[in-house]
Amino acid sequence: MPKIKIPERELEVYYEIRGKGPPLFLITGLLGSIDFYWQVLAPHLANDFQLIMFDNRASGQTLDEGNPFTLEDMADDVSSLINHLGFERVHLFGHSLGSMVAQVMTDRHKAKVDKVILCNPLTRMYKLCELIFAAMIDLLHSGANFSKVLMTLIPWMYSEAFIMKHLDKLKLFSDRFRFEISDAQRQCGALLHANTASILQRISHETLVIASAEDLLTPTPYAEEISQKIPLSSFSIIPGGHASNIEHPKELTTLIRDFLKSS
């Protein structure tokens, strides 16, 4: 997979383009990297869309200066990547933290955005999320076993049924997944200091908000409230937990395809 230098952002972005059709930028959630984040969903979407997947600042193989940053910085990164890859106008799909980046991107760079999908969305780091991720970082700093710490996050990310069915795979993933603690702190810092609630009414693009029925991190009522505040928004609920991109790719694909292909 290639990298592209974006000098004005002091970035070297790791990305992948797959499929054919209207361009759809996929924006990952907290600590997400494209080597796993879209692995399940992308094959379902690639027949209908040109997927542009990339590692955010402070995640995966994207390189930056290592400084603190804001949600606005992340949105401006996306805007610059659109320019450098030669696109004029794209659809956005943002999951979790990525949904906040998509909101800010749509507000700051309106002309570059066509339709918007906010999946398992939020407008700020809810207290529950703050406690969970702060505890995770504290444990890692204390020298706790990396994979065991990640395993404690699994009940917050997936439904009980999915966990029981795929526990061995989730354990294997926890054993293999690694990230820099300093990068986790920087991404959490950007999320902790952000609140996008005030911009929702300014989003004039057609928007689909998707919630998961068993999402503990960004519960359905929060997602529905977000949808109600966006003027041209529709709202859908699918089964499962927060990691809908992995747990329910077929249901997501149907919603995404129907929404983006409607006139």
| CATH classification at residue 53 | 3.40.50.1820
Reported in sequence order, the residue ranges of the chain that DSSP labels E, i.e. its strands, are 3-6, 11-18, 23-27, 50-54, 90-95, 113-119, 207-212, 233-238
Tell me, what's the pLDDT at 101? 98
Sheet holding 11-18, edge to edge: 3-6, 11-18, 50-54, 23-27, 90-95, 113-119, 207-212, 233-238
Tell me, what's the pLDDT at 1? 64
In a domain, 158, yes or no: no
In a domain, 129, yes or no: no
In a domain, 55, yes or no: yes
In a domain, 212, yes or no: yes
pLDDT mean by block of 10 residues, the chain; 263 residues: 92 97 97 94 97 97 96 98 97 98 98 98 92 92 92 94 95 89 94 95 98 96 97 98 97 98 83
In a domain, 130, yes or no: no
Tell me, what's the pLDDT at 13? 98
Alpha-carbon distance of 251 to 178, in angstroms, equals 29
Q: How many domains does the chain have?
A: 1
- For the record, the structure tokens of 117 come out as 């999908």
In a domain, 185, yes or no: no
Tell me, what's the pLDDT at 213? 98
In a domain, 9, yes or no: yes
Structural domain for 222, as ranges: 3-124+195-261
Tell me, what's the pLDDT at 176? 86
**Residue of 80, 93, 81 whose CA lies nearest to 16:** 81
Tell me, what's the pLDDT at 178? 86
In a domain, 27, yes or no: yes
